[in-house]
Amino acid sequence: MNSLSQPRICISLCEKTISALQRAIEGAATLSNLIELRLDCLDADERETGLPILLQTLEQFGCKSILCLRAADQGGRDEFDIETRRSFWSREFPGDSFLDIELDLVEAFDSRTLDERQLIPWQRVICSHHDFAGMPLDLIRLYERMAATPARVLKIAVQANDALDCLPVFQLLARAQRDSRELIAIAMGTAGIATRVLGPSRGSFLTFASPNKALPTAPGQISVGALNDIYRIDQVNALTEIYGLLGFPVSHSLSPQIHNAAFGKVDRNAVYLPFEVRDVAGFIKRMIHPATRELDWPMRGLSVTSPHKVAVMEHLDWIDPVATEVGAVNTIVAADQALHGYNTDVAGFIKPLRERLGDLRDARCAVIGAGGSASAVLWGLKESGASTTLFARDLSKVSSLAERFGASWQSLQGAQFTGFDLVVNATPLGTAGPSVNETPATSAELNGAGLAYDLVYNPTETRFLREANAAGCKVLGGLQMLVAQAAEQFQLWMGEEPPLEVMLQAGQKGLG
The residues carrying an active-site annotation are 309
Tell me the pairing of strands 422-425 and 451-454. Answer: parallel
Within 10 angstroms of residue 56's Cβ, the number of other Cβ atoms is 11
Would you mind telling me the total number of residues written for the chain in this entry? 512
Bond prior to 434 in cis (omega within 30° of 0): no
Give the residue from 433, 432, 436, 443 showing the smallest Cα distance to 466.
443
Phi-psi region at 337: left, alpha or beta (left = phi > 0; alpha = psi -120 to 50): left
Q: Which residues contact 489 (CB under 8 A, 6 or more apart)?
A: 259, 301, 303, 330, 331, 342, 344
Query: How many H-runs (helices) and E-runs (strands) does the chain carry?
Result: 19, 20
CA torsion angle 169 295 182 75 (round to 10)? 10
Side chain identity at residue 39, one-letter code:
L
Cα-atom radius of gyration of the chain, to the nearest Å?
26
- CA gap 423, 388 in Å, rounded: 10
C-alpha pair distances (Å), 396 with each of 1, 176, 391, 400, 428: 62, 52, 12, 8, 19
Cβ–Cβ < 8 Å for 425, 368: yes
Q: What is the DSSP track for 285-309?
A: IIII-TTT-SS-S-EEEEEE-TT-T
Max CA distance (Å), the chain: 88
Give me the torsion for CA of 458, 460, 463, 467, rounded to 10°. Answer: 150
CA distance 277 to 283: 7
- Read off the amino acid at residue 397: K
Closest residue by Cα to residue 233 from 14, 73, 415, 32: 32
Q: Which among 444, 491, 497, 488 is positioned nearest to 470, based on CA atoms?
A: 444
Give the Cα separation of 81 and 153 in Å (integer): 23
Q: Which residues contact 342 (CB under 8 A, 6 or more apart)?
A: 319, 320, 322, 323, 329, 330, 331, 332, 333, 489, 492
For strands 331-335 and 299-304, give the pairing: antiparallel
